[in-house]
């Protein structure tokens, strides 16, 4: 179960980083922005791994012998992407006004990785619904706090959160491969 909590924290770092960026740029309505970002990011980050899990279950019979390698590759790819993105400017820099549509697009964009990571849930002995709920709640909390952190401190923590999440995902990939 500890793996699920670590995975949840790692997957939520993308949404956390975007929330920090949103909070730093849009400090006038911090409370409502925090609630909306938390809802959107939490729901999408909770649902996408379930889609990945169900898809993974469908193809697991075909790749069962190589499933650990597939999970390793996906986690290293996702983690590497997050590490790479931690060194570039976030998209929230270009957003003048945060609308429901913008939050929907950001939630979808930050949760695509979680869908791929959901495949790894097929390799961990855990209830996938519970795991996805933990991921969603964790992302909700990180996103909510992220907006407030961004409003108070600016974006200096944004790239560090994404870097940390990427490194954690890479380490989880190595753990799945080696153990």
pLDDT in tens, 59-73: 767 777 787 888 888
Q: Cα separation of 165 and 107, whole Å?
A: 17
CATH number of the structural domain 2-178: 1.20.1250
**Of 179, 173, 166, whose CA–CA distance to 69 is shortest?**
173
Residue 32 confidence (pLDDT) above 90: yes
Of 118, 140, 123, 120, whose CA–CA distance to 40 is shortest? 140
List pLDDT tens digits, range 134-165.
999 999 999 999 999 988 887 777 778 878 88
Contacts 24+ apart (CB under 8 A), 3-6: 3/124, 3/126, 3/172, 3/175, 4/124, 4/126, 4/130, 4/131, 4/134, 4/135, 5/134, 5/138, 6/168, 6/172
Domain boundaries of the chain, sorted by first residue: 2-178
**CA-to-CA distance for 117 and 128, rounded, in angstroms?**
12
């Amino acid at each position: 179960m500890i793996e699920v909590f670590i995975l949840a924290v790692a997957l939520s770092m993308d949404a956390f980083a975007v929330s920090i960026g949103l909070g730093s740029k849009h400090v006038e309505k911090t409370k409502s922005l925090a609630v909306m970002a938390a809802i959107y990011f939490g729901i999408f980050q909770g649902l996408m791994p379930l889609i990945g899990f169900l898809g993974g279950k469908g193809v697991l019979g075909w790749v069962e012998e190589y499933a650990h390698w597939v999970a390793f590759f996906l986690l290293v790819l996702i983690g590497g992407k997050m590490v790479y993105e931690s060194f570039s400017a976030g998209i929230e820099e270009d957003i003048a006004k945060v609308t429901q549509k913008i939050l929907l697009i950001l939630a979808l964009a930050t949760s695509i990785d979680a869908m791929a990571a959901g495949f790894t849930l097929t390799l961990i002995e855990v209830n996938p619904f519970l795991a996805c709920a933990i991921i969603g709640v964790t992302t909700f909390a990180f996103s909510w706090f992220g907006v407030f952190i961004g409003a108070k401190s600016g974006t200096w923590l944004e790239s560090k959160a994404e870097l940390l999440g990427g490194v954690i995902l890479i380490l989880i990939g190595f753990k799945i491969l080696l153990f």
